[in-house]
Amino acid sequence: MQVHNSVYPNQDQIRGFAEPGPEGPIYMLNLLKFKDRAEYPDGRESNLTGEQAYAIYAAEVSRLLTEFGGGVMFGASVERLVLGEVEELWDKVAIAMYPSRSAMLAMMQSPKMQEIAVHRAAGLAGQLNIETTGALGAWLSEPPATAEGRGER
């Protein structure tokens, strides 16, 4: 498995927001890798670390999420890899809930998001965003299918 951190989605990923999504909310798992020093796209001088610049963005996004019916569900620092192998770990993880894909897209396109995104770009070296559904999902609460339930004998 190859892993490629990005700061911006590619065209196929952007088009995915317009596709019909699952019923109910989506939960976006964010795996975040920060720059050592913030690098603002407009070239402004800054003494911030990448994590500090991203924290400015995160505080504003937390407020913006509520305006679009969502919210921050979880955030934590990454300590160590317990299972598997990767070249380098992410620095933090966060889970944000959006009521739908379309709500997330509307938030991403909002003027406020455009205004605060500069801090995200300044702080992130890259990230992975993974869309998930069924929080505390059906797969945890439904009994496993039996051979009889699948029509097998």
Predicted confidence (pLDDT) at residue 14 exceeds the cutoff of 50:
yes
Taking only the tens place, the pLDDT of each residue in 83-97 is: 888 888 999 999 999
The CATH code belonging to domain 11-141 is 3.30.70.100
Q: In degrees rounded to 5, what are phi and psi of residue 16?
A: -60, -25
Res. 141 pLDDT band, cuts 50 70 90: low
Predicted confidence (pLDDT) at residue 150 exceeds the cutoff of 60:
no
Q: In degrees rounded to 5, what are phi and psi of residue 2?
A: -95, 145
Edge-first strand listing for the sheet containing 26-34:
71-77, 92-98, 26-34, 124-132
Kindly list the domain boundaries of the chain, sorted by start residue.
11-141
**Stretch 131-136: mean pLDDT, rounded?**
84
